[in-house]
Every structure is written in structure tokens, then in C-alpha cells.
């Protein structure tokens, strides 16, 4: 659950960060800004802001925003029906961005949310500077975090199947519930 | 056929336009800049510059650059084997960009290359301002042209099948041949 004023505040802040990153948005785009708290009710710690630029039956393009030190929880995109699972390419636009994927533990820049070691099991760190990109094949377990400046990135992918995403944290609910006050 | 000095010149100019558009590129990205003359040997009239950011078996992301008044010839992405044909989303970043797709003739801003009326048969004009986008379902016949300032855009798509592209102009050869001098 996220309260409406907080929801509006993180969306507003995220749009400002996209503007500062130099990405041109139409008015129609701006209305599409959303925030996801994963049902954990502390969006500034664990959450993400998403602006879907386009989404068809075959491909999608989104802008993702992380506020300073915000963390998107560990998850993966499983095969669904005939689909092999969502393949995703992240392209960093601005800020400081750390990805964690399968591989040896070389974690240096980011941090694990206190008491949630079991929910963040990938420790192979990939630092993405603006302009750098990372391909995440279907099924790749991953989580990511912004540094002190926050981060703006593109996410390009095959067909979106977000509601089928699998999370390491059993307390996560993918759909965001917005409370009135 | 395009001469090497001209090839280098249009690639250099296109990278400058990408920089001016505010898109951050890595050094590795910069090396991927290519130019396509479609075998017509007058690239500044008919041609396009392409920087492939990523290309997997399922999706691709490119930056396309048109020089001032440059035109990408009319073509479409047919079904190939099991693939329904390349679906493409264009997102305008900077400059002046006119797309021509199926529909009523409402052509106003662009022009037809002299004597090539039969090679540019789509006359339904869509003007894309920076930040605006256009979805091109597989098989959609289209061509596009920049205004006096040129244009920079993203192209996101399903699997790339460029060498299977079909062109209205029978003289087109998709592979660019570069002459030594």
C-alpha cells in the first residue's frame, strides 16, 4: 500500500529526473508515469518508477527511474505459455546504476537492504555508466539499485509479462495498491 | 557504391548529430556507426546512417540518422520463415522527421525524389516531433525523410531481418559497397 500523496510525489520527482536526463517526453507520455512499491509499503527503499513508452504484443520500451539509493527487488522473467520469457536490455541514461546478476560475488558499490539477505541473492555487480547497456536473457535473476544521485534508464524487451514476474522475496505483491490518504 | 572518404564523412556528421541530440554513446557504440547508400550511389539524397545499440535473436535497438533532406527509400519488412516480419517502433529524438505510410494522400512537408514517383508510393504523412513515436506493424510499407535540420531517431524492433527487406525501387541493393577512393 502506498498513500496517494506519496505516489504523486515519487512520480513527480521521477519525471523531473527524466527531464534532467535530457529525454524528451510528450504530454501523453507524462501521464503514463507510474510507481511500484511491490506491496512492501516503503517505496523509497524498495520500488521503481516506470513510464511505458510503447507496448505491443511483441515488444516494449520503458523508462525506469530509481530515486537515490532506491532498490528494485530481485526477480526474473519466467517462460509463460509459448513465450520463452521476457528478454530485456537495459541502457543507462543518467545517474549511478548497479545491477546484480548471476556470477561471482564482486559486490562493491551497492548495499543489501537491512535484514533482507535472503531476498537479494545475486551478488555479481555490473556498474552501468550512462550510455552503457546490459542484456538480460529470459530467466536471468536480477536486482538493481541506484547510487546517491538516483538513476534513469531505458528498458527494451520482448513482450511484457510483468504480472508473471517471479520474486525472491515471498512478501512481494506485483500490483501496487494506492491508498486514499 | 560509396567512396570511403564520403562514407567516413557522413558517419562523422551523423555521430555529431547524435551528440547534439543529447544521446550518450560509449566509445564502443561510436565504432558501430554505419552508412547505407542502398546501392544508389548518392547517399546524401537517398540513404540512412545506422548505429545498432543492441541486437539479439529476439529484439534490436538502433539509432537512425538522416542528414538534412535525406530520404530512406520506401520498403517493408516481410514475413521470413517462422517470423511474422519485423515490427518496428520509431521514436523521434531531434530534428524534423516525416514518415509516409499507407493511407490517404495528405503529403505536405516532404518531397518526392525527382523522377522517382513510382518508387515512393506511400503518401500518408505523419510528422514526428521530438519525443513522438510511430508503431509500424510487420509488413507496413513506409519511407521517411528529414527536413532541413536532419533528424535523429530510435528504432526498436523485433528480430532484425534487414537483408530480407523489400524495396519498391527495383534498383536498390541493401548491402553497401564501399569503394577505396
Predicted ipTM of the assembly: 0.93
Q: Output the DSSP codes for B67-129.
A: -TT-EEEEEE---BTTB----EEEEEEEEEEEEEESSS----S--PPTT-GGG----EEEEE-
* H/E segment holding residue A10: helix A4-20
As given in the structure block, the three cell numbers for residue A130 are 550512462
Confidence (pLDDT) at B181: 61
**pLDDT tens-digit series, residues A105-132:** 999 999 999 999 999 999 999 999 999 9
Confidence (pLDDT) at A181: 60
Asked if residues A61 and A154 have their Cβ atoms less than 8 Å apart, the reply is: yes
Taking the CA of residue B157 and the nearest CA in chain A, the distance in Å comes to 7
**Mean per-residue pLDDT over chain A, rounded:** 95
Contacts of B89 in chain A (CB under 8 A): 54, 56, 59, 61
Q: Which residues of chain B have pLDDT under 70?
A: 181
Calpha distance A79→A164 (Å, rounded): 9
Whether residues A93 and B58 touch (CB distance < 8 A) is answered with no
**pLDDT tens-digit series, residues A12-63:** 999 999 999 999 999 999 999 999 999 999 999 999 999 999 999 999 999 9
Taking the CA of residue B158 and the nearest CA in chain A, the distance in Å comes to 7
Phi, psi at A6, each rounded to 5°: -70, -40
Q: How does strand B2-3 pair with strand B178-179?
A: parallel
Find the closest chain B residue to A20 by CA distance.
B22
Find the closest chain B residue to A25 by CA distance.
B131
Instruction: Report the percent of chain A where pLDDT is more than 90.
Output: 90
pTM of the model as a whole: 0.95
| pLDDT greater than 90 at residue A162 | no
Phi, psi at B64, each rounded to 5°: -110, 140
Query: Chain B neighbours among A 39-98 (CB < 8 Å)?
Result: 53-54, 56, 58-59, 61, 87, 89, 91, 93
Amino acid at each position: 500500500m502506498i498513500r496517494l500523496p506519496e505516489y504523486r510525489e515519487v512520480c513527480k520527482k521521477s519525471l523531473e529526473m527524466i527531464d534532467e536526463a535530457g529525454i524528451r517526453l510528450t504530454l501523453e507520455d507524462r501521464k503514463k508515469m507510474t510507481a511500484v512499491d511491490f506491496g512492501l509499503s516503503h517505496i523509497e527503499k524498495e520500488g521503481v518508477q516506470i513510464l511505458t513508452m510503447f507496448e505491443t504484443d511483441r515488444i516494449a520500451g520503458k523508462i525506469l527511474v530509481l530515486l537515490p539509493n532506491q532498490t528494485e527487488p530481485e526477480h526474473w522473467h519466467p517462460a509463460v505459455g509459448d513465450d520463452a520469457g521476457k528478454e530485456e536490455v537495459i541502457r543507462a541514461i543518467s545517474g549511478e546504476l548497479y545491477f546484480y546478476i548471476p556470477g561471482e560475488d564482486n559486490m562493491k558499490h551497492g548495499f543489501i537492504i537491512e535484514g533482507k539477505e535472503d531476498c537479494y541473492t545475486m551478488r555479481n555487480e555490473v556498474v552501468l555508466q550512462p550510455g552503457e547497456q546490459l542484456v538480460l536473457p529470459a530467466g536471468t535473476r536480477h536486482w538493481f539499485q541506484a547510487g546517491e544521485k538516483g538513476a534513469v534508464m531505458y528498458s527494451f524487451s520482448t513482450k511484457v509479462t510483468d504480472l508473471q514476474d517471479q520474486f525472491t522475496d515471498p512478501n512481494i505483491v506485483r500490483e501496487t495498491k494506492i491508498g486514499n490518504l
